[in-house]
Structure 1
Amino acid sequence: MGVGLSSGTGRPGRHLPRRDDPIGSLTGGLCERLRLRSSRPGTLRTAGHRVDALTFAATVEQAAAGLSRRGMCFGDVVGVLAPVSPDRFLATYTVMAVGGRALPLSTASDLDTQCAVLTETDARLLLVSPELAQTALELAERSRVRQIISFGPSLGATPFEDLLQPSPDGNGYSPARGLFDNGILGYEQTSGGLLTTLYPHNDLMARFSELRNLLHLTADDVVAVDERGDEATRVALVALALWTGACVVTGADCPPPEGRQVTVLCAPEPARVAFPYPDSAD
């Protein structure tokens, strides 16, 4: 049975107040905030593709409702197999928006390690980018994963777009209102074996606040994230950029928008490396 929260068209609490901070998850309330903003929203980019922040935030809420209808519950672990890209962040935030625990797999990890961490955390669902769908099928054969959801056409996988379909019974589930015990699971190989670490929502929110005080992001900033660095910090920084209206470029080969430059780097540690031009535009 899915998560039983209610809100939405025709229900109390639909018109939410404007928020400056996430509630429940790192994107909780973001969609409503962006709709109310008079200034332009930010964007997320990868080589050859861009998505505006409002569309991204709305998709997170739609997909979270879709996962709820499919039976995902609070505390469920969901694997994410995708390079650092808008798809990886979309999957991670969607899982957390349902109260789940996202397990972003490093694309540099070998198949045995990926399989071991999926099994150790009892993950039954895997969100995957299409170019890694074959790897996902192999992981499903060797772990407890029973369903694969792909961001593109992939044989043997459910299309991500299926999560975005309207509820047949009019369920108005809204991730924007929940207070969830969610988070991100990290993992590493140690001399004692595989070690998994949960970064709960309060840890992610603490990182969000620290980065806001450290970087003083504005809507004119361009934030660059790639495979380097700490996953929890990367996810908190991208969320901060979305709330601020900044542009996020993902991956090692994604250029900044024309006429702009990268002003904030995520790795090796989050740092401001330049200041945006006053007349920069996305």
Structure 2
Amino acid sequence: MGVGLTSGTERSGRHLPRRDDPIGSLTGGLCERLRLRPTRGGSIRGAGRRVDALTFAATVERAAAGLSRRGLCLGDVVGVLAPVSPDRFTATYTVMAVGGRALPLSTESDLDTQCAVLAETDARLLLVSADLATTALELAEHSRVRQVIAFGGALGTTPFDDLLQPSPDGNGYNPTRGLFDNGILGYDRTPEGILTTLYPHSDLMARFTDLRGRLELTADDVVAVDERGDEPTRAALVALALWTGACVVCGTGSPAPEGRQVTVRCAPEPVRVAHPRAEGMC
């Protein structure tokens, strides 16, 4: 079974970086921005959890440093198995932040397809939500995956919190590391086998810039994302919301914060469905 690797959709125009643009990856520089502008911070919610944007961004940076210490090399593929949730975005952004290629697996894909794409992309590491740890361990048995890292921890896996330990030599996180060959890998099963498509940072930034111009997000917006839509656009939309200070709600049926309403949906293309009624905390 072969893999056809193509680049992401070509997008015309040169997107010059702005002062508040991501650096190297979709969350590169976000943590510093939120520290300097604490009043702009939003949050990301899902599966009964709420994580403020600054904590989320700091976790991505610390986890990226942890993956680097564990030997993740630039361009390495790391599988992500989690529903659309804070865990899925934490894992995806962490991989890109350290210069790797994130391979988010659809929870709707059958086990054979998931095994095939992990094997064909030579993924050696899998980041998973705790509720899918059993599936992840089975995938590891039928692929080249050598380590499964689970949010919250699960028997037979490495706890994600292990990545957040301080560096023994004091080395920190460098957001420009992501300027190398990072991005998101999509995949399809075709009659010829598994076809993978790389959406590099340039493509993700083009989507980020396009969505910023079309949606005109503000800190009062509530952005809802679920399984609908394509992964690169969803990742760019959530990153844009975090940079803007908006609130993100993940997963089917996740409610908006009390007293607020969803104003932007990724369904399946990002679209504004309402305007904020009034300012409120997320």
Secondary structure (helix, strand or coil) at the match of 1:189 reads strand
Q: For residues 251 and 67 of structure 2, what CA distance do their matches in structure 1 show?
A: 27
Secondary structure (helix, strand or coil) at the match of 1:92 reads helix
Structure 1 counterpart of 2:62: 62
Contact in 1 for aligned 2:99/2:177 (Cα 8 Å): no
Secondary structure (helix, strand or coil) at the match of 1:21 reads coil
Q: For residues 177 and 69 of structure 2, what CA distance do their matches in structure 1 show?
A: 17
Structure 2 counterpart of 1:24: 24
Structure 1 counterpart of 2:265: 265
Cα 1:67–1:139 change in 2 (3 A) is same
Q: Is residue 79 from structure 1 mapped to residue 109 from structure 2 by the alignment? A: no
Contact in 1 for aligned 2:179/2:201 (Cα 8 Å): no
Q: For residues 67 and 201 of structure 1, what CA distance do their matches in structure 2 show?
A: 19
Q: Is residue 179 from structure 1 mapped to residue 179 from structure 2 by the alignment? A: yes
Cα 1:119–1:38 change in 2 (3 A) is closer
Structure 1 counterpart of 2:202: 202
| Unaligned segments of structure 2, at least 5 residues | 1-17
| Unaligned segments of structure 1, at least 5 residues | 1-17
Structure 1 counterpart of 2:159: 159
How many equivalent residue pairs? 265
Structure 2 counterpart of 1:42: 42
| Deviation of 1:176 (Å) | 5.4
Q: After superposition, what is the alpha-carbon deviation per residue over 1:49-81, rounded to whole angstroms, capped at 9, x for unaligned?
A: 100000000000000000000000100000000
Q: Is residue 240 from structure 1 mapped to residue 253 from structure 2 by the alignment? A: no
Structure 2 counterpart of 1:3: none
Q: CA RMSD in A?
A: 1.3
Q: After superposition, what is the alpha-carbon deviation per residue over 1:209-241, rounded to whole angstroms, capped at 9, x for unaligned?
A: 000001000000000000111000000000000
Cα 1:242–1:279 change in 2 (3 A) is closer
2:232 partner letter: A
Q: For residues 165 and 89 of structure 2, what CA distance do their matches in structure 1 show?
A: 20
Q: Percent identity?
A: 80
Cα 1:190–1:32 change in 2 (3 A) is same
Deviates most, 177-186 or 156-165: 177-186
| Deviation of 1:277 (Å) | 1.3
Structure 2 counterpart of 1:100: 100
Q: After superposition, what is the alpha-carbon deviation per residue over 1:218-267, rounded to whole angstroms, capped at 9, x for unaligned?
A: 00000000011100000000000000000000000210000000000012
Q: For residues 165 and 281 of structure 1, what CA distance do their matches in structure 2 show?
A: 31
Cα 1:106–1:177 change in 2 (3 A) is closer
Contact in 1 for aligned 2:40/2:244 (Cα 8 Å): no
2:157 partner letter: A
Q: Which aligned runs of 4 or more in structure 1 are off by greater than 4 angstroms? A: none
Secondary structure (helix, strand or coil) at the match of 1:214 reads helix
Q: For residues 151 and 38 of structure 1, what CA distance do their matches in structure 2 show?
A: 27
Contact in 2 for aligned 1:23/1:29 (Cα 8 Å): yes
Q: For residues 173 and 44 of structure 1, what CA distance do their matches in structure 2 show?
A: 22
1:157 partner letter: T
Structure 2 counterpart of 1:276: 276
| Deviation of 1:190 (Å) | 2.1
Q: After superposition, what is the alpha-carbon deviation per residue over 1:72-126, rounded to whole angstroms, capped at 9, x for unaligned?
A: 0100000000000000000000000000000000000000000000001000000
Q: For residues 240 and 173 of structure 1, what CA distance do their matches in structure 2 show?
A: 21
Q: For residues 217 and 279 of structure 1, what CA distance do their matches in structure 2 show?
A: 13
Structure 2 counterpart of 1:134: 134
Structure 1 counterpart of 2:224: 224
1:279 partner letter: E
